[in-house]
């Protein structure tokens, strides 16, 4: 997709499976299983959709997927399915890891920052994108370094420690413009310090929704995840975001939707619906 000077591609890091109950919080299974069919272990299919933005000056990657540093046991627990991987998806559009100049992490949970780093041939952890500056909210970084018992399992320091040692980690606070036309802003709800990414060129705006609205199935306001730390606050933020997305005709990217990665939202008076946008 081209908007103004920017070229956008969805870059997939494959899929995984997560517990359906955890993905839909208080929504009863008899209701959610109609839209997301669980496997025999009650897990549903989750996409890992990252976004590549090619600008005249930079190649920018928004989130890096779950990455490839997993043991056999973890691969099977999460049913991680590769390829595609971030690197194979980049190769498909003609890019190598070295070509990425900016990485924006919406937050540091392992399914968003797992591809930040990789093993080299000696088994050492190295930055996956050696020429990139990686951007994350400072408050998210501080929290990731000393997480709460409630979200400790989501943070693996192997995904950012080497970046800070190599001087590749950069911090944002609240709302910041990364380059002209690409802005990040902090939004509480899923956790305290997730940042969303807004890309604007002329009249077109694309928004990367991260875990705030992870799939099109999470469009109903009360459909929030069991993982969300502040569900009531999240519901208020969703209302605001969705009303802007509708009135300004934004293209929304659903990071975890395995079927519909992008679309515009409409409200038919009864419910929110998505009109898929193909990239």
Spatial contact of 50 and 120, defined as CB atoms under 8 Å apart: no
Measured distance CA(117)–CA(188) in Å, rounded:
26
Give 127's contacts (C-beta < 8 A, 6+ positions apart): 116, 117, 134, 162, 163, 166, 168
**Which C-beta is closer to Zn ion: that of 96 or that of 150?**
150
Measured distance CA(56)–CA(13) in Å, rounded:
25
- Applying CB under 5 A, which part among 54-62, 108-116, 166-174, 269-277 lies near Zn ion? 108-116
Q: Where are the alpha helices (DSSP H) in 96-137?
A: 110-113
What is the closest distance, in whole angstroms, from the C-beta atom of residue 112 to Zn ion in the complex? 5
- Applying CB under 5 A, which part among 82-90, 114-122, 158-166, 204-212 lies near Zn ion? 204-212
- Regarding 111 and contact with Zn ion (CB under 5 A), the answer is yes
**Which C-beta is closer to Zn ion: that of 111 or that of 140?**
111
What is the closest distance, in whole angstroms, from the C-beta atom of residue 109 to Zn ion in the complex? 5
- Regarding 211 and contact with Zn ion (CB under 5 A), the answer is yes
**Which C-beta is closer to Zn ion: that of 6 or that of 135?**
135
Spatial contact of 79 and 131, defined as CB atoms under 8 Å apart: no
Q: Which helix (H) or strand (E) holds 275?
A: strand 272-276
**Which C-beta is closer to Zn ion: that of 111 or that of 193?**
111
- Applying CB under 5 A, which part among 90-98, 197-205, 211-219, 264-272 lies near Zn ion? 211-219
DSSP state, residue 95: -
- Applying CB under 5 A, which part among 23-31, 58-66, 89-97, 110-118 lies near Zn ion? 110-118
The alpha-carbon radius of gyration of the chain (Å, integer) is: 18
- Applying CB under 5 A, which part among 56-64, 129-137, 207-215, 270-278 lies near Zn ion? 207-215
**Which C-beta is closer to Zn ion: that of 79 or that of 179?**
79
Give 122's contacts (C-beta < 8 A, 6+ positions apart): none
What is the closest distance, in whole angstroms, from the C-beta atom of residue 117 to Zn ion in the complex? 17
Spatial contact of 51 and 11, defined as CB atoms under 8 Å apart: yes
Return the structure tokens found at 179.
């380059």
Closest CA to 17 of 64, 81, 86: 81
What is the closest distance, in whole angstroms, from the C-beta atom of residue 84 to Zn ion in the complex? 18
What is the closest distance, in whole angstroms, from the C-beta atom of residue 210 to Zn ion in the complex? 7
What is the closest distance, in whole angstroms, from the C-beta atom of residue 79 to Zn ion in the complex? 15
Spatial contact of 152 and 108, defined as CB atoms under 8 Å apart: no
The binding site for Zn ion (CB under 5 A) comprises 111, 211
């Amino acid at each position: 997709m081209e908007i103004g000077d920017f070229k956008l591609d969805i870059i997939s890091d494959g899929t995984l499976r997560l517990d359906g109950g955890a993905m839909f919080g208080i929504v009863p299974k008899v209701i959610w299983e109609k839209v997301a069919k669980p496997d025999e272990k009650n897990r549903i299919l989750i996409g890992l959709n990252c976004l590549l933005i090619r600008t005249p000056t930079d190649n920018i990657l928004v989130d890096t997927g779950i990455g490839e540093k997993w043991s056999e046991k973890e691969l099977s627990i999460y049913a991680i399915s590769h390829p595609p991987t971030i690197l194979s998806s980049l190769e498909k559009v003609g890019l190598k890891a070295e070509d990425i100049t900016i990485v924006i992490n919406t937050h540091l949970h392992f399914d968003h920052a797992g591809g930040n780093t990789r093993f080299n041939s000696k088994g050492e952890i190295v930055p996956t994108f050696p020429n990139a500056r990686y951007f994350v909210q400072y408050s998210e970084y501080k929290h990731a370094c000393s997480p709460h018992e409630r979200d400790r399992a989501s943070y693996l320091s192997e995904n950012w420690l080497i970046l800070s040692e190599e001087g590749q980690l950069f911090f944002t606070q609240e709302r910041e413009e990364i380059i002209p036309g690409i802005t990040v802003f902090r939004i509480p709800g899923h956790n305290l310090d997730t940042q969303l990414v807004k890309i604007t060129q002329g009249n077109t705006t694309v928004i990367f929704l991260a875990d705030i609205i992870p799939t099109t199935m999470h469009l109903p306001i009360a459909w929030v995840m069991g993982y969300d730390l502040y569900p009531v606050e999240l519901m208020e933020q969703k209302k605001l975001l969705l009303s802007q997305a509708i009135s300004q005709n934004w293209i929304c990217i659903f990071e975890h939707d395995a079927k519909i990665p992008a679309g515009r939202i409409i409200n038919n008076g009864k419910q929110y619906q998505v009109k898929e946008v193909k990239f």
